[in-house]
Structure 1
């Protein structure tokens, strides 16, 4: 079979490979069902064993029966005539026969397979032909695909080119439109100029505001693009048109306001009044309602101007409209306001005039603010818009009040005016309606400043005349009789607490000082009040000290001291609630060095015109500024402390002066004895013991002890009675008496120490000093 088969060519190998791949792919992509696979298995089992052909099978059986070796072979492939019948005698015949049989079988087998090979070869050839056709088709398809890609590439290139052309076209269209829109602003110049210079166009026409808006747009555009050719020329021409338009608006507003004012004046005359005489009922209805109705035609154009007030030109026009409006309103209401304020000034006192005038002005300002807000809603919050109207109206009140304030001398009335303006008007009424009345605040604050200035001047005059230069009468200095009368009146009324008549026991300058400060405290600024308070406390303290000296001459020194202590304590207590520092810095000019410089110049030691040296004219004539600080409160404390110490020493001396004198003499003797022993010059008299001295005998010491005891029992209660009369507060008396008690006890302790050291027990019994415990109890009982 191998000899007959021809070697496969390239196409046959490719066909077999492709056929195998196709069958494998088919097997994988189209698998057999289970039934199909079972049928194939059954078929394979059925053909596994091939039976002998019928002729061979019979012959085989017969030979077996004969018991000889007979071979009958008939090849079905050659037909019935080709059967091989042979009788084998020897081995060679058998081999020959077997060889022939094997060749026949082989030939039969090869024929079947050759037939199958031929069939496969034909089919492979067919597949190769098909593959060749497929290859040719694929080549044609590949060529077609390449042509399609080329066509697609050309088409895409053409589309891209078309898109670019469309984009470029759109860009050019947009550029043309942008250029046309930009040129449109410049082209509008002729159109706007023609309309503005037309006789048919006025501020009240419908197309005026759109033209004005278009003009503003053109100006804004040209201003923002100065790089364009001739933009400055066009801007100048646009500005000229804008100035003409704004001038037309100003004239229109002025004409409208004058027309409204004329209608209001005509309405006033029709009601039987005049510009300066209008009844209160007619005032609001005519001056405000009629004016509002008459000028309503201006509201649209005014609102348009306000809407563009962010631009400088419109802001100027708006400001001019404000002034024109205020001028026309002022011409209507100034006579009426002046008449009302004049009527108040004729009928009412200064406080009532201030209160009524401020209330009326606030009413007028509120109505004017409401009317102003109607025409200028966006500008009503700005106080300066109504200033040309409000300032003259408020000046009428200021001019009416100022002459009266200048001639007012009553401090109480001036304080009342401060309270009216500061609390009632500025504090309450103006704060509740701050927006509508804000224009009044500067004038009201100016009036308040004038009142403060007048009040400060009158307060200084009051301090100078009524406190510093106060001339006391005999009744003012009648101490302690004035206090005794007050105690008697108090006991008659059975009043336990102090009555308001307690001020009658005060020295008048003290009462005037405290009354003045209490009034000024809430009326003046802290810095101004501090200066006045320092001055008042200082001069009051000096006045009380002068009165104390006069009382000491008239009665006793103790009365003068207690008078001074009483009033200084009251002054210190009463100024404590004032939350201020009584420290004032004074600046003075010192020219003391000027004389020495002039002497040096006259002696030729310095030149008058030598500006380069320290002795120049400028330096010579320049004064020195000296600063000094005065704290009235500290000075008051210092005076009070000195007076209390003086009173304590005087009472101590009144009671225990004999003891103090004795202790002083004993101390002097001991010092002299010690000094004499050192110098070896001892006098016979000084060398005696203390008890043998003439001034220190037991009898002398007992005598001085008796004097001190008598003073404690007789003089000290009188002192305590005076203290109780002048100082009604028990705690104050206790504080003042405590150092007196300490001094008395200390004097007794010193004397007791001397007695115990220098005298015998028998002599001590003669002296008979009171024990310290008994003395303290006795002194405590005096309180």
Structure 2
């Protein structure tokens, strides 16, 4: 037992195999993780449990069990065979286990035997795998050699492909280069064609058979233009300037041929017309209208058909300078030939109108005939030059001389015309009938006449303006009135007797007879000029006419005041100023004119300063320099004739109202003035004792204010209201025919009369007793007074 203990001590952990705790822990952790990651089903767990119970108690081998029984008392003897333990081919291990050391040795041998038997099959498998690896290595070596051969083949193939591609690219480049060279050659050939055409075109143009009517002429001309355009756009080519010069020489020759052809055809047509006129036995001036149209216009249309191809070609290329010049030359040649044919006829017809007709008839007939000729010429011109017919300037060399002929016939007549009515009629004909209606209706064909007709109208405007200013100066501003012109109110009374039922001024033409002549002349002149002159010109004339008319009426009013009475002069002025204001109201203009004048009044002061030595004449840097000294001031003044008229009318009405008021209630006004003076003297105190004693008396004890005196002045006022005021109202009715005007003018008079009575009544209530007021003074009430005044209207 002691020996066993010693053996046990020798096999302690310090000298025995290493501890397996860590391995067990790792095995346990691995088993736990395996169980968690790969759990077994219930059936699998039951099978494992059954196996664990079956192997829980393993019996000893049969032989080992017998040896154990026979040697139980003498020691431990173990004899085992490999087959009994399940190990095949391991041989037999016989051992007699006497002590623990022997057991451990036996156990170690047994484990070694078990390990060697267990690993044998793995060694065999490793040997097999090793053989197979060696076989694979041999195969891989062969594969590597094959791959090397394949790589070499692939490199050779790539080299062949690269050489092939290089060859193909070179071929493509050659093809592209060939195509480019072909295109360059073609482009060069096409460009050279323009230069090569010089010889061909020259040969054709210098050919004796070549002319404008030749069918090849216009195509050659077009080709020549293309060559010129090309050479002009490419001056960088060699000898381009030389070729351009030669091309232009050919073009000049071709255009000269066209010009000669056009002139030849036009002259031929003119010769045919002249021959037809001679064969008819008359002259151009004596042809009838039907023969004129057939000979002068119809025969020229045949020439237009002959020239149409060439002229259309020229018009289509008129954007080029040389063709524009040729087209203008053709226009001029055409107009010259046409003018030579029609000028004599137009001159003869207008001369016939001049001999037989008045200025207005000549204007109508001459313009109508000229517009007819212009329309026919425009239609004929359209057959020759369809694209140029819209340009007014194309026919100007033909139309201007014809229209100038009419202008030369009209101008001397309206320059010597002094009648404003005739000039206004002439303006109306030109502005409304000719320019407004006929010319606007046929504006395209008659546009060439507009400048001349506009010039005639402007000259007539100028003449009309001059005659209007002369009329205003002579007939209005410097009018010398006759006795019958100033015979007021007799003139109005006579007119009233002739026309018992007075009508408004705008409804009865005879009412002008009752007006002062300058007023009638002013309104008549303005009404005629309003539609004939430009607004700016008419505004200046209207302002001047209204201003001088107002002054002339005021002068006549002063003369009437001396001849008849101040009231007649006032009513005359009010009447005519009202008519003037009423009649100028429809004119839609401003009667305001700004006058500018030069003021040299400051020069005297500057000259004095220079003479005194206070300023220098040559000091250009100062304000007193020569330029500033001699520069005038521009003074502007604005004159509004309408406002001046209103101002004069207002002043005259106020003057008339005050004169009528004084005529009726002057005693009352004097009484109120005296009473006011006494009261003022008493309130301020007087230095004169005698005067103070007189003023100290009550108002009714004053000599001028006794009840009897007051009753006397009240009676005078009553008499004036009953006798003088009706006379005034009769005069107002005679001068002012409009009841509303009389009412407006009488209203302030009535107010003044009533106000004077109110002031007197207020004084009577404060200064007089009721008995004196009722029994002595006996002043009418305000209500009675107003009723009496209202009945006068």
**Normalization by structure 2: what TM-score?**
0.78
- 3-state DSSP of counterpart to 1:199: coil
Deviation at 1:583, TM superposition (A): 0.4
> Which residue of 1 is the match for residue 758 of structure 2?
749
Unaligned runs of 5+ in 1: 1-137
Q: Which of 558, 564, 567 is the matching residue for 2:573?
A: 564
Deviation at 1:139, TM superposition (A): 14
Alignment of 1:114-129 (within 5 A): none
Deviation at 1:394, TM superposition (A): 0.3
> Which residue of 1 is the match for residue 529 of structure 2?
520
Deviation at 1:461, TM superposition (A): 0.7
Looking at structure 1, the residues matched to 251 and 506 of structure 2 have their Cα atoms a distance apart, in angstroms, of: 85
Out of 480-489 and 606-615, give the one that drifted further: 606-615
Q: Which of 267, 271, 287 is the matching residue for 2:280?
A: 271
- 3-state DSSP of counterpart to 1:290: helix
Deviation at 1:159, TM superposition (A): 5.4
Looking at structure 2, the residues matched to 350 and 727 of structure 1 have their Cα atoms a distance apart, in angstroms, of: 43
Q: Which of 724, 745, 751 is the matching residue for 2:733?
A: 724
Q: Aligned residues, how many?
A: 662
CA gap 1:498/1:227 in 2 versus in 1, 3 angstroms: closer
Deviation at 1:240, TM superposition (A): 2.3
> Which residue of 1 is the match for residue 482 of structure 2?
473
Q: Which of 310, 324, 336 is the matching residue for 1:301?
A: 310
Deviation at 1:596, TM superposition (A): 4.2
Matched, 1:422 2:436: no
> Which residue of 1 is the match for residue 216 of structure 2?
207
Out of 181-190 and 381-390, give the one that drifted further: 181-190
> Which residue of 2 is the match for residue 333 of structure 1?
342
Deviation at 1:623, TM superposition (A): 2.7
Deviation at 1:536, TM superposition (A): 0.5
Q: Which of 771, 774, 783 is the matching residue for 2:784?
A: 774
- 3-state DSSP of counterpart to 2:237: coil
Deviation at 1:648, TM superposition (A): 0.2
> Which residue of 2 is the match for residue 353 of structure 1?
362
Deviation at 1:675, TM superposition (A): 1.6
CA offset digits 1:159-186 (Å, max 9, x no partner): 5554443333222111100011111112
Deviation at 1:198, TM superposition (A): 2.9
Looking at structure 1, the residues matched to 654 and 178 of structure 2 have their Cα atoms a distance apart, in angstroms, of: 113
> Which residue of 2 is the match for residue 763 of structure 1?
772
Matched, 1:665 2:674: yes
> Which residue of 2 is the match for residue 387 of structure 1?
396
Deviation at 1:277, TM superposition (A): 2.8
Looking at structure 2, the residues matched to 145 and 675 of structure 1 have their Cα atoms a distance apart, in angstroms, of: 147
Q: Is the 8 A contact 1:513 1:540 kept in 2?
A: yes
Deviation at 1:327, TM superposition (A): 0.9
Q: Is the 8 A contact 2:273 2:299 kept in 1?
A: yes
Q: Is the 8 A contact 2:286 2:345 kept in 1?
A: yes
Looking at structure 1, the residues matched to 508 and 188 of structure 2 have their Cα atoms a distance apart, in angstroms, of: 98
Matched, 1:537 2:537: no
CA offset digits 1:589-609 (Å, max 9, x no partner): 223334444555566666656
CA offset digits 1:114-159 (Å, max 9, x no partner): xxxxxxxxxxxxxxxxxxxxxxxx9999999999999888777655
CA gap 1:260/1:179 in 2 versus in 1, 3 angstroms: same
Alignment of 1:41-190 (within 5 A): 161-190=170-199
> Which residue of 1 is the match for residue 713 of structure 2?
704
Looking at structure 2, the residues matched to 240 and 175 of structure 1 have their Cα atoms a distance apart, in angstroms, of: 31
> Which residue of 2 is the match for residue 58 of structure 1?
none
Deviation at 1:621, TM superposition (A): 3.6
Q: Is the 8 A contact 1:476 1:508 kept in 2?
A: yes
> Which residue of 2 is the match for residue 633 of structure 1?
642
Q: Which of 566, 587, 591 is the matching residue for 2:596?
A: 587
- 3-state DSSP of counterpart to 1:782: coil
Indicate the RMSD between aligned Cα atoms, in angstroms.
3.3
> Which residue of 1 is the match for residue 410 of structure 2?
401
- 3-state DSSP of counterpart to 2:695: coil
CA gap 1:495/1:633 in 2 versus in 1, 3 angstroms: closer
Looking at structure 1, the residues matched to 632 and 508 of structure 2 have their Cα atoms a distance apart, in angstroms, of: 55
Looking at structure 2, the residues matched to 540 and 404 of structure 1 have their Cα atoms a distance apart, in angstroms, of: 31
> Which residue of 1 is the match for residue 265 of structure 2?
256
CA offset digits 1:435-489 (Å, max 9, x no partner): 0000100000000000000000000111111111111112111211222222222
> Which residue of 2 is the match for residue 226 of structure 1?
235
Deviation at 1:736, TM superposition (A): 0.4
- 3-state DSSP of counterpart to 2:536: helix
CA gap 1:613/1:493 in 2 versus in 1, 3 angstroms: closer
Out of 547-556 and 403-412, give the one that drifted further: 547-556
Looking at structure 2, the residues matched to 355 and 575 of structure 1 have their Cα atoms a distance apart, in angstroms, of: 32
Q: Is the 8 A contact 1:326 1:389 kept in 2?
A: yes
- 3-state DSSP of counterpart to 2:685: helix
Q: Which of 221, 226, 233 is the matching residue for 1:217?
A: 226
Unaligned runs of 5+ in 2: 1-146
- 3-state DSSP of counterpart to 2:500: helix
CA gap 1:359/1:497 in 2 versus in 1, 3 angstroms: closer
CA offset digits 1:65-114 (Å, max 9, x no partner): xxxxxxxxxxxxxxxxxxxxxxxxxxxxxxxxxxxxxxxxxxxxxxxxxx
